[in-house]
Structure 1
Amino acid sequence: MLRIIIVISALLTLLSGCATTPTTTLDTSPNFKPAQAAQAHPLEMYLHSGRLLRSGDMDEAAFWFYAGQLRYRVHLMARPNLPPDQDLALFSSLNSTLGQEVNEYIGGNPSEWEQVIENVLSWDDQTPNDFTPKDKFPSAHREVRAGLLELKEMIHKNHQEIREDRASAGLENR
């Protein structure tokens, strides 16, 4: 958990070079509210997930992690020429740190994991994406959503194997 806090603090220091749109700097808000998600840079959802994780709200943290990941992947796919040392590097760092803790938790119950993904896909369907508009980048949206749906199907087909792998790695099954 301390590693997450250190990484998020360091990332906030580095954010001046990241884009909220392809041309402006990122100004993250510690007061991000889910109602702001339609307009927010996907990083805001990751940071919100980290705050929820630190407060112990693991299920909500998992939801916002996957919502942020979906929206961030769409952003990166829609804008392949972004500098690799900014949004792409930040995305990778967040997935390797925050993602590890969220996935260690949510993977403990494959049925819940599937439900989180289903909820994120439903939320994304119903929530506008002003940051990377669905009508302007339809193929990026379709492709990223299809990838998340594939993950959900893989989890569904492999509940027992997931549980066995976790047990052999010393991870909790809930």
Structure 2
Amino acid sequence: MKRLRFVIFACLGLLAAPASSQDVKDMSNAQIVAAAPDLHPAALYVLASRLLAEGKGQEAANWMYAGQLRYRILLATGQIGGREGRPLFDALTEQVGRPVNEYIAGDVDEWIAAMNFALEWDAAEPNPRVDVSKHRATVDEVRGGLERLRDSLDGRRDEIAREREKNGLENR
């Protein structure tokens, strides 16, 4: 857990503070949710990590997938690079995404619901970091990747359950 906190806070040190100039690490979960559209997607991973630690796995997965979707859009459109680009995304995916996925994949319906939440939230909330009209095809391609993953889960329920059991993970 200490390593996870270090990675998250080290990564957040690379990010610009939100408009309020309040550090994300000092924001409450409710404040992060309220400011989510304007925050760097890494902030949603911070939120997901907190929620998972609080035993709120579904909420954690919802926000992790929302952050991952926005982050993938930034990467695909070239709106982000350097230290806060691929290296930060990879670190967050490993340190936050892996444990969230280990939890949420234990119930395929919840997993699908998390992806639906992310897709619906992204469609409903403005993305000030990307000119969506300029990058429509790329945004649609990234969203399509998550939609295809979501759609593939239903037909693989038994396979997912067997693989999780083989790896010693709980099926809920």
User: TM-score, structure 2 length as denominator?
Assistant: 0.86
Contact 2:41 2:68 in 1 (8 A): yes
Contact 1:38 1:128 in 2 (8 A): yes
- What is the Cα deviation at residue 58 of structure 1? 1.1
- What is the Cα deviation at residue 122 of structure 1? 1.3
- For the residues of structure 1 that align with 2:32 and 2:10, how far apart are their CA atoms? 22
- What is the Cα deviation at residue 9 of structure 1? 3.1
| Long gaps (5+) in structure 2 | none
- For the residues of structure 2 that align with 1:144 and 1:58, how far apart are their CA atoms? 24
- What is the Cα deviation at residue 3 of structure 1? 3.9
Change (3 A) 1:10 1:33: closer
| Long gaps (5+) in structure 1 | 21-25
- What is the Cα deviation at residue 81 of structure 1? 7.3
Contact 2:58 2:104 in 1 (8 A): yes
- What is the Cα deviation at residue 6 of structure 1? 3.3
- 2:136 aligned partner: 138
Residue-pair matches, total: 165
Q: Deviations over 1:99-137 (max 9, x none)?
A: 110000000001110111112111111111112232232
Q: Does 1:94 align with 2:89?
A: no
Q: Does 1:29 align with 2:24?
A: yes
- 1:148 aligned partner: 146
Contact 2:66 2:117 in 1 (8 A): no
Change (3 A) 1:145 1:81: closer
- For the residues of structure 2 that align with 1:105 and 1:164, how far apart are their CA atoms? 15
- 1:39 aligned partner: 38
- 1:11 aligned partner: 11
Q: Deviations over 1:74-99 (max 9, x none)?
A: 0011117722x432100001001111
After the TM superposition, which residues 47-66 of structure 1 pair with which residues of structure 2 at under 5 Å, given as runs? 47-66=46-65
% same residue: 38
User: TM-score, structure 1 length as denominator?
Assistant: 0.85
- 2:119 aligned partner: 121
Q: Deviations over 1:30-52 (max 9, x none)?
A: 31421212211111111111121
Q: Deviations over 1:117-165 (max 9, x none)?
A: 1121111111111122322321221011000001101111101100000
